[in-house]
Amino acid sequence: PLYFKFYIRGQKCRFICRKDQVRPILRVLREAIFGPFKVYTEREYPDGPQSPGYPDLAKEMLFYKKDPKLPGGRLRLKHMIELHVFDHKDQVEVDGVTIRRLGGNRYEVQRGDSPPQSCNFHPTREAQVEVGTDDGGGTHGCFYAPPLFGVTTIGSGHGFDTESKTSGFIIWVDGKGILVDPPVNSTEWLRENRINPRLIEDLILTHCHADHDSGTLQKVLEEGRIRIHATETVMRSFVAKYSALTQLKASEFRTLFEFVPLTVGTRCTIAGARFSFRYTLHPIPTVGFEVEFEGKSFYYSCDTLYEPETIRSLHEQGILSKSRMYDLLNVPWESSLIFHEAGIPPIHTPLSLLADLPLEIKKRMYLVHVSESAIPEESQLVIAPPGADNTIEIPVPTPQKSLASKILDVICHIDLFSEMNVRKAQEALSITHHKILKEGERFIERGTYGDRFYMILSGEVEVVHEDLPRRLFFTRYDYIGETALILNQPRNADIVARTRTEVLYIEKEDFLRFISGTPLPELFKRLDKNRSGGARKTFEKHRILAALSPLQKNQLMCWMVEDTLSRGAFLYREREPISWYYLIDSGEVRVRNGDREATLGPGSFVGAFGTSLKSTHHHSEAQALSAFMVLMLLGG
């Protein structure tokens, strides 16, 4: 709304807010519109300011703020917004209209002497998750099979385009995906396009304009622990902006994801492909990149002004060094595939310039950050088509190390093996085999003795048993069959491939030898005891636990102990050190904190929880109101 009001309508955007909201609003807008207070380019380039193409981002950002028509000759936040703050009576007047806060999200609006009208602002409804599915959303059946190398467009529009998602896409490298500036609600988009989210662990954040970073914030808050690749300058701006918005400390916000700092102007590897990043010409620090894999390449301009005449003029004005000018002019038009942005200069690249490019380049180029209606028919320019079915594949040969890489990737994602050393990894490679299952193939049969430990590489399988509370599915990174091998028991269910499925397997004797001398046999026994003791059914009583994947449930059950407590027994008392967290299976517990108390029943999680689970002592007491069963999870 702010950009639209100022740049399109020439008006200020009004913010009606509480006093405590003023500072966060100003910080978010300052970062988004004018960029960070400080840049860290000296640390981001391999040779600091002596590096080829090194930019003076402070000068470049100042160039975009200049406006001779404004007082002082430069654009400031006060030219774009008005703040109207509720007073001590919880009311504010705007254009003769009085607005009163009634508490919560309720307000009363009154113009002059007319009767007041009340309104209630409801928060956006949370996305409804289909409980009990392996990926939190009911994506069953035929998953999308990604190419060895290619790009799937999620959105190709800009921030003002109501007809399409903002520009964002997935780069596929040997079956794994890298998200680039995902639009808002990308999780639902992945589900609708039947893309398994477990294929995607990396995200590239190019800059902190809202149409590029708000989807990243959503993914962090919804899913967490995603790996974000960004320059230090962009990441610090992202953290400053959204820690202010979420009211989390910057250090707390940073714990929600893994940050991988990028070096600019040199190559780095992400998901097996080689990336080279550069800062573009934009009002705030922004990176574009080129990625190479098996002899082919993909270039993404990101938001930038590519207009040679203007770039040379900025060099003559002393804003760009000669090295920086050449870096901006040196576009890898020879790339196998090009995604280039377009828009209104001097913030974006003019469509007319791209339309004048040679046809041979335009055949390999797709436009993003632009409305399809804005592209002239005679230009021979094409917008990047969204959707998994429109994935643009870049033909490459299968890498020689592809299978070995996939085996190690799956094994490292299985919690049981995640801490193994290099020698153990080498052993795992030597004993792991690959197999393709046909749709409908029953590869584990109930009542037979186990002879293999299975890991899912791609596709989906279903556990078939009449006692399951709901249908149970396994997909990438899930494992099957360990209990029957360790306990030497018959399989307790049939398992059928629902799609064409790739599995990795280890023969029984190799598997038992591989885990001998480790804590794994005892963890598997505890897992089996909790499964057979009904822990799965207990999880179903808890809304969040019920929605966990089979892998996540298995991880919890490996560390849970079942116990029975009598009426009147204390689970813990106030100020006691945290030893356990409790999941109530049956019975009731009273939790008391000062003069407040609550009664909790089956499916409730009991313990001292904070934003980061770093509490060391209980701040309340919990006492059994009746004899009850409890699953205890090791705490502190």
The pLDDT tens digits of the residues spanning 228-237 come to 999 999 999 9
pLDDT greater than 80 at residue 398: yes
* Distance, C-alpha 311 to centroid of its chain: 35
pLDDT greater than 80 at residue 83: yes
| Fold annotation for 402-532 | Jelly Rolls (2.60.120)
C-alpha closest to that of 133 among 580, 478, 467, 616: 478
Q: What pLDDT shows up at residue 141?
A: 53
Higher pLDDT, 629 or 423: 423
- Over residues 119-172, the pLDDT tens digits come to 888 655 444 333 333 433 334 456 789 999 999 999 999 877 777 899 999 999
Within 13 A of 200's CA, how many CA atoms are on the CB side?
27
Max Cα-Cα span within the chain: 86
Q: What pLDDT shows up at residue 531?
A: 75
Domain ranges of the chain: 2-20+40-120, 149-391, 402-532, 559-634
Q: What pLDDT shows up at residue 452?
A: 95
Which whole-number Å values give the CA distances from 309 to 316, 346, 520, in the listed order? 11, 11, 65
- Over residues 289-301, the pLDDT tens digits come to 999 999 999 999 9
Distance CA 213, CA 244 (A): 15
Q: What pLDDT shows up at residue 138?
A: 39
Q: What pLDDT shows up at residue 224?
A: 54
Between 237-251, 433-447, 495-509, 514-528, the lowest mean confidence (pLDDT) is in 514-528
Residue type, 454: Y
pLDDT greater than 80 at residue 416: no
Question: Could you check whether 149-391 and 559-634 share the same CATH topology?
Answer: no
Query: Residue 218 class from Cβ within 10 Å (0-12 exposed, 13-18 middle, 19+ buried)?
Result: middle
pLDDT greater than 50 at residue 246: yes
Pick the CATH number of 149-391 from 3.40.50.300, 3.60.15.10, 2.40.50.140, 3.30.1490.20: 3.60.15.10
Mean pLDDT of 561-570: 87
* Distance, C-alpha 608 to centroid of its chain: 27
Predicted TM-score (pTM) of this structure: 0.83
Q: Which residues pair with 577 in a beta bridge?
A: 617
Higher pLDDT, 138 or 27: 27
Q: What pLDDT shows up at residue 553?
A: 80
Q: What pLDDT shows up at residue 325?
A: 98
Distance CA 362, CA 333 (A): 9
C-alpha closest to that of 561 among 582, 590, 547: 582
Mean pLDDT of 263-276: 95
| Domain 559-634: homologous superfamily in CATH | Jelly Rolls (2.60.120.10)
Distance CA 432, CA 511 (A): 9
Residue type, 470: R
